[in-house]
Amino acid sequence: MLENIHKSIDNSYPEMVEIRRYLHQHPELSFQETRTAQYIADFYKELDIPYKTKVGGNGVIATLKGGKPGKTVALRADFDALPIQDEKDVPYKSKVDGVMHACGHDGHTSTLLTLAKVMKEYQEELPGTIEFLHQHAEEYAPGGAKPIVDSGAIDHVDAVFGTHLWATTPLGVLQTSKDVFMAGADRFEILIQGQGGHGAYPHETKDAIVIASEVISQLQQIVSRRIDPLETAVVTIGIFEAGSAFNIIADQAKLVGTVRYLNPEIQDQIIAEMDKVIKGICLTNDASYTFDYVKGYPPLVNHAEQAQLILEASKEVEEIHTAEEVVPVMGGEDFAYYTLKKPGAYFFTGANKEGNPYPHHHPKFDIDERALPIAAKTLIQAFFAYQHKAN
């Protein structure tokens, strides 16, 4: 049966591309994906597969119950876009100004929808149940996964699998991990209040730019000098806002950044060290400050048994020539909430497009669409591998 399923997926490739390109042209930002959610719901309605909408927000979950007994497995795809202007010169370029699918979520959605259509044909032969989990708002914390989990929507699920079309990995390569796979991702904002004045009289001021610059310099020493070098962490400042004129000393400066970590104990240490650095520098310079630290997605930790099933499943996908375990990447992913709740694993499906070297979240981001059926085949192979092992 699996051989026939693979053939059906291959035969569905033109529709898979068509869906992906339609979604690429009509992106919606996190928590605003009402039309996309409706598109997904209408697709399942046409297939006569039962579904629920507004799950944890804009989420959609469709349920395909097989004709044979077995376990319930969720397959997840996200469908939100990013606030980025699409700069690609392609026929399927985003039609929404300032919004684009710059991370492959359009491809994830197309993969899962097409897989659902294929599996509907094999429903009576299907062991167990597939939950096609379409998740909103992956890109922006608090994200869509946590409210879906908190809603109880996957309480009955036995396992969960998901993939990310990975534009920096070659086509035909699958990557995963049997432990921590992606980093925890937090956000922070520091507001430094000094005392402004004329640029000619610095001695009468408390220069917020100078103070903020010292804070930035010292924050970079947290990872290099205060964290165990065998641990992995990142402290990055992405925004530095201050000043209004060339000859005025700024009274206020804002720093916004991110922290990435793999070990929750390191997260706690970084927060404490950041607070000490900011407090000490501001005290020395007689300035005040606010420090707002927002804990985001936790590290994505794969379950070893389910990750092994992914690796085994990849052997049955002809287009995959390399399946490898890799070290964690420092990007964040709210799939982490699913594996905190249920056994499961996440993997990267290589989707590098020849001649397009641009990474995720780049205005010229694109994927090799031949990765879509590879992702679909691997997901359904993992589903059957899990069913086989459970029985």
Domain boundary among 266, 297, 328: 297
Claim to verify: residue 338 and residue 326 sit in the same structural domain? yes
Cα distance between residue 198 and residue 374, in whole Å: 62
| Contact criterion met (CB below 8 Å) for 113 and 76 | no
Total Cβ atoms within 10 A of residue 26: 17
208 and 324 fall within a common domain:
no
Domain count across the chain: 2
The structure tokens listed for 163 are 């993939």
Is the domain of 50 the same as that of 151? yes
Q: Which range marks the domain in which residue 92 is found?
A: 2-182+299-390
Considering the domain architecture, whether residues 60 and 171 belong to the same structural domain is answered as: yes
What gap in Å lies between CA 153 and CA 59, rounded to an integer?
10
Specify the pLDDT at position 382.
Answer: 98
Pairing of strands 127-135, 248-249: unpaired
| Each residue's pLDDT tens digit, 179-224 | 999 999 999 999 999 999 999 999 999 999 999 999 999 999 999 9
Is 154 in the same domain as 23? yes
Cβ-in-10-Å burial (0-12, 13-18, 19+) of 370 comes to middle
Q: Is 138 an active-site residue?
A: yes
- The band of 40, judged by pLDDT with boundaries at 50, 70 and 90, is very high
Q: Please state the rounded mean pLDDT for residues 232-261.
A: 98
Q: CA neighbours within 13 Å on the CB side: how many for 317?
A: 32
Catalytic residue, candidates 28, 33, 78, 80 = 80
pLDDT at 391 over 90: no
Residues 293 and 321 in one domain: no
The mean pLDDT of 41-70, rounded to a whole number, is 98
Tell me the CATH number at 196. Answer: 3.30.70.360
Q: Are residues 285 and 322 part of one domain?
A: no
Q: Quote the mean pLDDT of the chain.
A: 98
Q: Which of 275, 297, 319 is the last residue of a domain?
A: 297
Bridge partners, residue 73, by sequence: 130, 159
Average pLDDT over residues 124-147: 97
| Residue 332 pLDDT class (50, 70, 90 cuts) | very high
Same domain, 21 and 91: yes
Q: What is the pLDDT of residue 173?
A: 98
Q: Which of 138, 158, 186, 207 is catalytic?
A: 138
The predicted-structure confidence for 146-162, as pLDDT tens digits, reads as follows 999 999 999 999 999 99
Q: Which pLDDT belongs to residue 320?
A: 98
Both 33 and 62 in one domain: the answer is yes
- The residue with tokens 């048994």 is 305
Indicate if 216 and 95 belong to the same structural domain.
no
pLDDT tens figures, 167-182: 999 999 999 999 999 9
The whole-angstrom separation of Cα 391 and Cα 387 is 6
Phi, psi of 61 (to 5 degrees): -125, 125
- Give the 3-state secondary structure of residue 202: helix
Do both 48 and 164 map to the same domain? yes
Residues 91 and 13 in one domain: yes
28 is catalytic: no
